[in-house]
Chains A and B, each alone.
Chain A
Amino acid sequence: MNVDRVLEGYVVKLGDNVSTDDIIAGRYLHITDPEELASHLFENRPEIRERLLKAKKPVILVAGRGFGYGSSREHAPIALKTYGVKAVLAESFHRIFYRNSVNNGLLVIEVKGMADLVDDGDKIRVDLRAGIVETPRGTIRIGKIPDYVINLILSGGLKEKLRSIASQKSHT
């Protein structure tokens, strides 16, 4: 399960400090089935849920500062990815959400100044090779991602690494 280096999607715009509680409420965290989790996205934030459900897929979330605020629940990136969110572009991320996303093959990229360039429904294109995002109102550079992290992202995160470690050990 490698992550695509070039991907396209339709924008849903969000504000600052969108929390993992916003993304998936605590009452659903006993659930591990990805489809079931995806059906409960943003229930605590009805105005976001409504826009997400109306949006064309695949979705790219464009957010402000501190996306993925709060709880460590990995259910959040799993639910987003399963629903059809391909990537999250934000001014900055909270660290546990960022790591959880990488490990589940949800592309998360720090991009400054995106919010001014896009609106809900815009089609945008992320090109990791060129390090850019193309929007209807211009192209924008993405921040530098450390080599260790980009390799992890492109290989599908720790889950894929774990899969290969497990298969090697079982063959030795």
Chain B
Amino acid sequence: MADESLAVEIMSSHVTNGTKDVGPGDIVVVKPDILLMNDVTALLAIRVLEETGAEDIIDCKRNNTIIVLDHYSPPPTARIASSYRRLRAFARKHGCLFKDVGEGIMHQIAVEELVEPGQLALGADSHTITYGALTVFSTGIGSTEAAYILATGELWLKVPHTINVELKGTLEWPLTGKDVVLYILGQTGGDGAVYASVEFMGDGLKSIQVSDRLTISNMMVEGGAKTALFPVDDILLDWLMRERGIDPRPAWKRLSPRKAEPDLYVDLGRLEPMIALPAAPYNVAPVREVEGVEVDQVFIGSCTNARYEDLAEAARILKGKKVKDGVRLIVTPASRRIYHKAIETGIMEVLHSAGAVITPPGCGACFGSHMGVVGDDEVMVSTSNRNFPGRMGSPKAKIYLASPQTAAATAITGRITDPRDI
């Protein structure tokens, strides 16, 4: 059994229609352990429930359903504030788990409080794929599908084929999960992993912490992946114990590291800081190749790179320094918990003293609607996940995607800077 993919292993245990003996290409019906919706996708799901007359038959408890207000949070317009009232009322009426304005990004909350290895999580948000770092089969769905699960408890999925990625060598400062995933996206392009379960293996896992794994799984959707799974190993077990107080479970043995013929290698020892150029996340180059490009703004935020470790690394570079005159540095922590810890440990003081503008937790500027979007012809280095035209403001702006280390170094010099030079 252990030579089956992690995806097949987890899906098999969630199938509700007949045989558990499933393989790639099969279409199965599964019961997710967790269903997640954000403010924008939940609004549409509620509309679907109203249109189809299904609101009376829904059950938020069956699949442990959570609604998180993260995209427009806190609301920038009266119209959106009114929509938020609607979402609060819906969650209260049906007993859904609910996180209000300022609690943080849905994916970060899921990782901090909800998901654990071996589960199947479906979320109406493409970056639901993030929890693969915790060996959760997690993938994005639409709003109609979320409504369908609320009403029936189930959804159809195709069992994915596997792309095995072998990580070799050791990841060392200032390299991060972001550099790893940007490198991989350079190999897959925007569609090279479409429908696939991307699964990570190899000795290199030993030098990749959970925070970096979350970044890697998160951005594999930019290559089209359905899910992006790390195995249960000592690093994950330690993290689960430390951060969540969860003891190892016997069933997790089946989710141990795999050995398989790799489809892709990453030699961590030979990697260098990477950056995605405008206007696609797979349009990558080493930072060295574009250093010196002048920037107007730096954004450290999003479900990709605004965890405590990311803020701490940025602070390590910015400590005792100032953001370059004329450049804005916007920092949006991924969750309230992260924000609080960064206050307690002095990280926020360092960032603030360096000149950072610190916003409430949430999706922030990554979503292109508020809290630091950019204007015509402006240039930004962002730690987020997408840099399409108009993604973070004006379609005429240019967005580069990089690690928190590269972002912090760039904020100091006002030009795209390799963090090894600071």
Residues 290-309 of B at the A interface (beta carbon under 8 Å): none
Chain B, residues 135-167, CB within 8 Å of chain A (1/0): the string is: 000001111110110011000101000000000
| Selected contact of B48 from candidates A148, A159, A169, CB within 8 Å | A159
Assess the B390–A25 pair: CB atoms within 8 A: yes
Assess the A95–B143 pair: CB atoms within 8 A: no
Contacts of A148 in B (CB 8 A): 27, 156
Nearest CB in chain A: distance from B78 CB, A: 11
Assess the A44–B191 pair: CB atoms within 8 A: no
CA distance A25 to B390 in the complex (A): 7
Assess the A158–B148 pair: CB atoms within 8 A: yes
| Selected contact of B52 from candidates A45, A69, A78, A163, CB within 8 Å | A163
- Say if the beta carbon of A57 comes within 8 Å of chain B: no
| Selected contact of B144 from candidates A25, A46, A100, CB within 8 Å | A100
Assess the A74–B142 pair: CB atoms within 8 A: yes
Given contacts A29-B71, A46-B395, A166-B54, contact A70 B142 (CB under 8 A): no
Contacts of A75 in B (CB 8 A): 40, 44
Given contacts A26-B368, A46-B395, contact A162 B48 (CB under 8 A): yes
Nearest CB in chain A: distance from B152 CB, A: 7
Partner-contacting stretch, out of A4-12, A13-21, A113-121, A130-138: A13-21
Assess the A92–B191 pair: CB atoms within 8 A: yes
Residues 102-145 of B at the A interface (beta carbon under 8 Å): 124-126, 128, 140-145
- Say if the beta carbon of B91 comes within 8 Å of chain A: no
Nearest CB in chain B: distance from A46 CB, A: 7
Chain A, residues 91-103, CB within 8 Å of chain B (1/0): the string is: 0111110011001
| Selected contact of B191 from candidates A26, A46, A66, A99, CB within 8 Å | A66
Given contacts A159-B52, A169-B57, contact A21 B386 (CB under 8 A): yes
Assess the A95–B226 pair: CB atoms within 8 A: yes
- Say if the beta carbon of A30 comes within 8 Å of chain B: yes
Given contacts A27-B368, A30-B83, A44-B388, contact A162 B147 (CB under 8 A): yes
- Say if the beta carbon of B352 comes within 8 Å of chain A: no
Assess the A32–B190 pair: CB atoms within 8 A: no
Given contacts A21-B386, A70-B388, A166-B54, contact A96 B140 (CB under 8 A): yes
Assess the A30–B390 pair: CB atoms within 8 A: no
| Selected contact of A165 from candidates B54, B125, B156, B222, CB within 8 Å | B54
- Say if the beta carbon of A127 comes within 8 Å of chain B: no
Contacts of B151 in A (CB 8 A): 162, 165-166
- Say if the beta carbon of A161 comes within 8 Å of chain B: yes
Chain B, residues 32-47, CB within 8 Å of chain A (1/0): the string is: 0000000111011001
Contacts of A161 in B (CB 8 A): 148
Given contacts A21-B390, A72-B142, contact A32 B43 (CB under 8 A): yes
Given contacts A27-B368, A66-B224, A161-B148, contact A166 B53 (CB under 8 A): yes
CA distance A163 to B27 in the complex (A): 22
Nearest CB in chain A: distance from B299 CB, A: 14
Assess the B52–A70 pair: CB atoms within 8 A: no
CA distance A103 to B148 in the complex (A): 10
Assess the B54–A163 pair: CB atoms within 8 A: yes
Assess the B47–A32 pair: CB atoms within 8 A: yes
| Selected contact of A162 from candidates B27, B52, B128, B386, CB within 8 Å | B52
With both beta carbons as reference points, the residue of chain B lying nearest to A160 in the complex is identified as: B52
Contacts of A43 in B (CB 8 A): 390, 395
Contacts of B140 in A (CB 8 A): 72, 96
CA distance A78 to B142 in the complex (A): 11
24 contacts between A and B (CB under 8 A): A17-B190, A17-B191, A26-B367, A26-B391, A32-B43, A32-B44, A43-B390, A44-B390, A46-B395, A69-B190, A71-B386, A72-B41, A74-B44, A94-B224, A96-B141, A99-B141, A104-B144, A146-B27, A148-B156, A157-B144, A158-B145, A158-B148, A162-B147, A170-B57
Residues of A within 8 A of B (CB): 16-17, 19, 21-22, 25-27, 29-30, 32, 43-46, 65-66, 69-75, 78, 92-96, 99-100, 103-104, 146, 148-149, 152, 157-159, 161-163, 165-167, 169-170
